[in-house]
Amino acid sequence: MTALSQRVPSRFLPVIATVVLFVLAFGAGSARYDGFASGQVIANLFIDNAFLIVLAAGMTFVILSGGIDLSVGSVVALSTMVTAAGLRAGWPVPLVVLAVLLIGSTLGLLMGIVIHKFDIQPFIVTLAGMFLARGLCFLISVESVSIKNSTFRDVATAAIELPGGVTITYNVVIALVVVAVAVYVLHRTRFGRTVYAVGGNESSALLMGLPTARTKVGVYVISGFCSALAGLLFSLYMLSGYGLHAVGMELDAIAAVVIGGTLLAGGVGYVLGGVVGVLVLGTIQTLISFQGTLSSWWTKIVIGVLLLVFIAVQRTMVRR
């Protein structure tokens, strides 16, 4: 407990490591490939991963509280499906958005209640949530449903010009707003600090008289909401709804959060770390696509290795 933590920045070390990793990966790309070090490549990192950033923000809450949410990928798929089917049925866009967000939050609420009330491991409950959400997709339609709604398409294709000729999409703006709100909630509200307290030491938090029950359920609601929102962003990105969208995305989100320096045991970590984690994953993909001859499966292997390295680092930090 003492030796390393005597120095203040020790809790920032993992995040700093992630930022260094990102800079190194990006620097390596810039050095090797022409056109890599452009503003648009960075912008594309955000455009292509906006939904993952939102997912990682929600996942950060859950992991900080000491839990885990395996359902996020499936909830993304369900959200794309509800969006596509709703629009096809002629619902107005605001209603679709509201319905999607409501479904995601409700699923999160239900899982949170089961986890807390019945003391069943989050892993199993959210695994059931994962099955349920996937299955519900196929109840709506087994086929992919494309989105033809013009408002939706306009938003999806709209580009926002930034100085320097770089363009981003509305997805990026939404993702960044989510991150800002998440940072505020985690660091500036009682709820956010209680999330850290519960993750740090749940029985202490209870003895300190903090509302642990509300907090533990709350993080799953937030994660459910973020998954639904990420699903909307994914619908904008893919312009279709499909039960096989976002397969395994929960692992990407977890990986991003862990690589971003959040302790899987809970209590330590930052939303911004998760964002950098997403950017690292995105950069690896970009690197591999620039490289051309390296195949896409290297992404998975590299992510696995990174996970391992960060877990090992966390392990030594926890042991001290």
Partner 1 sequence: MKNRLLWPLLALVALLLLNLVVTPSFFSLRVQDGHLYGGLVDVLKNGAPTLLIALGMTLVIATRGIDLSVGAVAAIAGAVACVHIGTSDSAGTAIVGMVLALALCALLGLWNGFLVAGLGIQPIIATLVLMTAGRGVAMLVTEGQIVTVNNTAYKQVGAGFVVLPTAILIALLVLGVVAFVTRRTALGMLIEAVGVNPEASRLAGVRSRTIIWTVYVFAAVCAGIAGLMISSNVSAADANNAGLWIEMDAILAVVIGGTSLAGGRYSLTGTLLGALIIQTLTTTVYTIGVAPEVTLVFKAVVVIAVCLVQAPKARAALSFRKVAVPS
Partner 2 sequence: MTESPPPVVEMRGISLAFPGVKALQDVDFRLFPGEVHALMGENGAGKSTLIKTLTGVHRPDSGQVSLAGEDVAFSSPGEAQQAGISTVYQEVNLCANLSVAENILLGREPRKLGGIDFPAMRTRAAEVLARIGVHIDPGSSLGEHPIAVQQLVAIARAIAVDCRVLVLDEPTSSLDAGEVAELFRIMRVLRDEGVAILFVSHFLDQVYEISDRMTVLRNGALVGEHLTADVDRRTLIAQMIGRDLGALEAIEDAAEKHQVEGPVLVRAEGLGKRGAIEPFDLDIRSGEVVGLAGLLGSGRTELARLLFGADRADSGTLLVDGKPVKLRGPRSAIAAGIAFSSEDRKGEGLVADLSIRDNLVLAMQAARGWTRPLPRRTKDQLVEKYLKALDIRPANPDALVRTLSGGNQQKVLLARWLVTEPRLLILDEPTRGIDIGAKAQIQQLVTTLAAEGTAVLFISAELEEVVRIADRIVVLRDRRKIAELDGSTGVDEVVELIAGGAAPEPEKVVS
* C-alpha–C-alpha distance, residues 281 and 25, integer Å: 10
Among partner 2, partner 1, none, what binds residue 184 when CB lies within 5 to 8 Å by partner kind?
partner 2
The b-or-e profile of 216-247 (16+ CB within 10 A means b, else e) is bbbbbbbbbbbbbbbbbbbbbbbbbbbbebbe
DSSP SS3 for 93 = helix
Reported in sequence order, the residue ranges of 93-241 that DSSP labels E, i.e. its strands, are 145-146, 160-162, 166-168, 240-241
The residues that touch partner 1, with contacts defined as CB under 8 A, are 68, 114, 117-121, 123-125, 127-132, 134-139, 142, 243, 251, 254-255, 258, 264-265, 295-305, 307-308, 311-312, 315
* C-alpha–C-alpha distance, residues 140 and 145, integer Å: 10
Q: Min. distance of Cβ 124 from partner 1 in angstroms?
A: 6
Of 204 and 291, which CB lies nearer to partner 2 in the complex structure? Answer: 204
Of 20 and 120, which CB lies nearer to partner 1 in the complex structure? Answer: 120
Applying CB under 8 A, the span of 3-11, 152-160, 174-182, 220-228 interacting with partner 2 comes to 3-11
**Per-position x/- string for 165-184, each x denoting binding to partner 2 as judged by CB under 8 A, each - no binding:** -------------------x
* C-alpha–C-alpha distance, residues 229 and 224, integer Å: 9
Q: Which tokens sit at 51? A: 């939904």
Q: Min. distance of Cβ 303 from partner 1 in angstroms?
A: 5
**Per-position x/- string for 184-213, each x denoting binding to partner 2 as judged by CB under 8 A, each - no binding:** x---xxx--xx-xx-xxx-xxxxxxxx---
3-state helix, strand, coil in the chain (%, to 5): 75, 5, 20
Q: Min. distance of Cβ 150 from partner 1 in angstroms?
A: 30
Q: Min. distance of Cβ 313 from partner 1 in angstroms?
A: 11
In the numeric block, the tokens 């300190």 are attached to 208
Q: Which of these, 24, 39, 109, 9, lies nearest to 69 by C-alpha position? A: 109
Q: Min. distance of Cβ 71 from partner 1 in angstroms?
A: 10
Applying CB under 8 A, the span of 1-9, 91-99, 153-161, 225-233 interacting with partner 2 comes to 1-9
**Counting contacts by CB under 8 A, is residue 268 touching partner 2?**
yes
Q: Which tokens sit at 112? A: 């949170």
Q: Which residues contact partner 2 by CB under 8 A?
A: 1-2, 5-6, 8, 11, 184, 188-190, 193-194, 196-197, 199-201, 203-210, 267-268
